[in-house]
Structure 1
Amino acid sequence: MVAAAFSTHGPFIESRRVLTAALVIGSVVLLVFGLEPLLLGSIVDRGLLDQRSVGALLTVEIFSVALGAAVGPRLMNRRLRAKLVTASILLAIVNLSTLAATGAGQIFALRLAAGLLEGLLLACVNLIAAHSRRPELMSGLLLGLGCLPQILFAYLIPVALDPMFGRLSVFLVLAASALVAALCAPLLVDRVQVADGDGDGSGKGGRWPAGLILFGVAVFIQNCGMGGLWGYAERLGVARGLDANQIASAFAASLFGQVVAGLAGAWLARRVAAFPLLVVGGILQIAVVCVLGISSSVLVFSVAITLFSLFWPSLQPGQLGVFIRAEPTRRAAVMMSPIVLLGNGAGPLMLSAGVGSGTGGVVGGVWLAAGLVVAGLITTIIALHMLSRPGPATIPLFRVGELPG
């Protein structure tokens, strides 16, 4: 769900130690997104929130991650290691504090704080990934391999940890992972040298074209639908009649799909032109969401949720390539991660308008998600058409070219 920015400026970070540590820390941040359905479900089952409030809570946390990621590069890029250790320890404390929460107000405050701290960690990872020798590979590895811990814990939490530690054991896992990030922090560089951006050849100082702004809106809308549906996925599984073991297996399979999708997405973005990649991928997304809304079969749900997680992240490297080609200074590409996060955060709140009471009430939110994904696809097509017009940075719709810079 989080894309690393591309960069060709300044001295590259090539140390395997630094890059590996950055990937581990990035996986810690991504872990909360993969476990979000279990996290939200545990809070509802404990009676700390009702089902309709789930979307608002998820929105608060993801918006705060986006805010932390936006301000983090400037805030964290001096004495980075010490600041990251501090943020990681604070994140562990916040997650442990959630175990003692007794009401909705405390839950909202704690998840807001957790999101801000997660965003600061993510900013450090993005700084290093953007200034590595192969940032596109770093992006694919983060999206793909970062899901492996999610696969492990999405299965272990309902099956082994919840029976042992209680329904909120997910927060113990998140606290422990934050301490892992703190241990990795000394392996990073203490400061990333960020060079000034170059012009885009248009004499406009890297100003965003109108088509690129619209494309950013399309990415936001699409992630509203997909992120919103992911936030309600566990509730949907319960509505379809899955028990705890079946839900655990379905989510483990869906997260494995994200491993494949992250790595495949980086490969496809270099070999398939923007228009067929994003349009065909968008159509497949719509089809999967509709299947989730229609079918009541346990088997179909399990297969569809796996395909859902396969198509979603595989498009992000291609979307990032559009940002880079349309605005070659790559300043716009840095905004890809906040746009995705904002969409993921707004989506659950939007879908909550269609969620009714009772176990089956969540199905109405699925159709709102389908509508958002359709709107995102239509907006993508219009934006790509605008960007294909002759100009300083024209994007070929049906031809693959080298990324500028």
Structure 2
Amino acid sequence: MEPSRYTGRGAQILAIAVGSVALLMLGLQPLLLGALLEAGHVTLEGVGLVAMGEIVALGAGVLIGDMRLSVRHLRPITALAALLAAGMDLLTTQLQGDLALGLVRAGAGLAEGLLVWSTTAVIVRASTPERLAGLFFVIQTLAQALLGLALAHLVIPTAGWRGGFELLAVLAVGVATLAALFARPLGPLTPTASQAGVGMTWTRPRLGALLAVFLQLATLGAFWAYAEPLGTRAGFSPVAVQTLIAAGLGMQVLGGSVGTWLVKRLPIHATLLVCCLALGLSAFGVVRTAHGGTLLFTGLCAVFTFTWLFMLPFQMGLAFRVDGSGQVAALVPAAQLFGSAFGPLVASLMVTGDEVAPVPLVATAFAVLAALTLPLTRLRRRMAAD
């Protein structure tokens, strides 16, 4: 059964605003958690745990929304989740210690996950959900970049690291206000068959689609979490590699824009397979950049970061290919977030001391597994649907 599509511009604008604010912290973690570390409020070991805890809780929030909440109550849930996120951001400024900050940021991640769920509820009911998802990925990346610049050059120099979390709280309160202002456009959002994940038959293609998304994001997370030390290992200075990583953000925006434009023009399975190959070969090529491969490393990072956002609209397209009701598509953000957390976790287990040589191999392995998973997503009766 096809879901009722809701194409109101007001709901779509709100969805993109809500999701962009919800995912800001993911892009700002290195900046804000680094500031917490410099201030002595968290230990070096604790930084990774706090970051991972927030990402995992974010994914859990999406799942809770998909499986336990009704979109009939989307407006109050969005408003309350935004206020909870704002409260957690403000509480962060008053605490210190790995455990305390880990619990608070996990609470923030849970609220942020509910906001992402509300965004997905609108996207999957759009007339062209793949393109709206691609637009969302591009805008939220730009939002992270712009706010990161503002924090680094304006907020933190004048208001300190606390000012960064206070700004996040203000933006979250703004989202809660928008949820009330856009009450009428959000009204028609109602589930058609059942809530996502409830009463749905879990077929091989549906499970395979979520597994493929999970593994692709694990590839990204494993490599990008160690991009700075890998760049230093290739011969870049610390400032140069940070500049390269910032430039990678521009390649992500370019990739997301191109992917949004092409998602209706290219075959879903074949494109995602090429993306797996591009990610795997890029990561594997980094092995050859040790001690003097700066030019090669730059090129490989450009391919890697372009592919990153380019493939995300196709992931949403794959979800709709295996399940036209949109229930699998609603779970895609959770699969992406859990993959983003799982990749760095596995990579960290392979790292010994300061030696990051195994990381590209871990990312390559995830890319290969993702490619091997894609055949599972093909529908038996529509093999030629691409």
Which TM-score band (shorter chain)? Answer: 0.7 to 0.9
Give the direction of change, closer, same or farther, for the CA distance of 1:292–1:353 in structure 2 (3 Å limit). same
Instruction: Quote the residue 2:63 is aligned against.
Output: 70
Matching residue within 80, 83, 94 for 2:88: 94
- Please give the alpha-carbon distance, in whole angstroms, between the structure 2 residues aligned to 1:81 and 1:207: 28
Q: Tell me how far apart the structure 2 counterparts of residues 247 and 17 of structure 1 sit (CA, whole Å).
A: 40
Letter in 1 for 2:59: A
Gaps (5+ residues) in structure 1? 1-6, 199-204, 401-405
Contact 1:63/1:115 (CA < 8 Å) preserved in 2?
yes
Question: What is aligned with 2:374?
Answer: 384
Structure 1 residues 47 and 237: CA distance shift in structure 2, 3 A? farther
In structure 2, the residue matched to 1:326 is: 322
Between 1:248-257 and 1:178-187, the stretch displaced more is 248-257
Q: Give TM-score scaled by structure 1 length.
A: 0.80
Q: Which amino acid aligns with 1:155?
A: L
Partner of 2:276: 282
CA distance in 1, matches of 2:355, 2:14: 39
2:282 maps to amino acid: V
- Give the deviation of 1:216 after TM superposition: 2.9
What corresponds to 1:155 in structure 2? 149
CA distance in 2, matches of 1:255, 1:225: 17
How far off its partner does 1:395 sit? 3.8
Q: 1:25 aligns with which of 18, 27, 30?
A: 18
CA distance in 2, matches of 1:112, 1:381: 32
Is 1:61 aligned to 2:58, yes or no? no
Question: In terms of mean alpha carbon deviation, does 159-168 or 110-119 score higher?
Answer: 159-168
SS at match of 1:207: coil
Q: Which residue of 2 aligns with 1:354?
A: 350
* 2:87 maps to amino acid: I
- Give 1:235-314 correspondences, 5 Å limit: 240-243=236-239, 249-290=243-284, 294-295=289-290, 305-314=301-310
> Does the alignment pair 1:40 with 2:36?
no
- Give the partner amino acid of 2:145: I
Change (3 A) 1:319 1:133: closer
RMSD of aligned Cα (Å)? 3.1
Going from structure 1 to structure 2, the CA distance change for 1:234 and 1:76 (only over 3 Å counts) comes to farther
Query: Using the alignment, how far apart are the partners of 1:303 and 1:162 within structure 2?
Result: 32
Q: How has the CA–CA distance of structure 1 residues 99 and 298 changed in structure 2, closer, same or farther, with 3 Å as cutoff?
A: farther
Distance in structure 2 (CA, Å) of the matches to 1:161 and 1:316: 31
CA distance in 2, matches of 1:84, 1:387: 32
Contact 2:32 2:161 in 1 (8 A): no
The answer to whether the 8 A contact 1:151-1:255 is kept is yes
Contact 1:55 1:352 in 2 (8 A): no
* Per-residue deviation, 1:104: 0.5
What is the DSSP-based 3-state SS (H/G/I as helix, E as strand, rest coil) of the residue aligned with 2:23? helix
**Alpha-carbon distance between aligned partners in 2 of 1:255 and 1:20, rounded to the nearest angstrom:** 23
Matching residue within 189, 192, 195 for 1:195? 192
d(CA) in 1 for partners of 2:285 and 2:31?
22
**TM-score when normalising by structure 2:** 0.84
Measured after TM superposition, the shift of residue 165 of structure 1 is 2.4
Of stretches 147-156 and 281-290 in structure 1, the one that deviates more from structure 2 is 281-290
Q: Which amino acid aligns with 2:56?
A: F
* Whole-angstrom CA distance in 2 between matches of 1:159 and 1:177: 18
Distance 2:24 2:78 in 1: 17
2:212–2:374 Cα contact (<8 Å) kept: no
Query: Is the 1:67–1:116 contact (alpha carbons within 8 Å) kept by the matching residues of 2?
Result: yes
Aligned length: 375
Is contact 1:36–1:231 with CA below 8 Å preserved after alignment? no
- Report how far residue 114 of structure 1 moved: 0.4
Shift of 1:231: 3.8
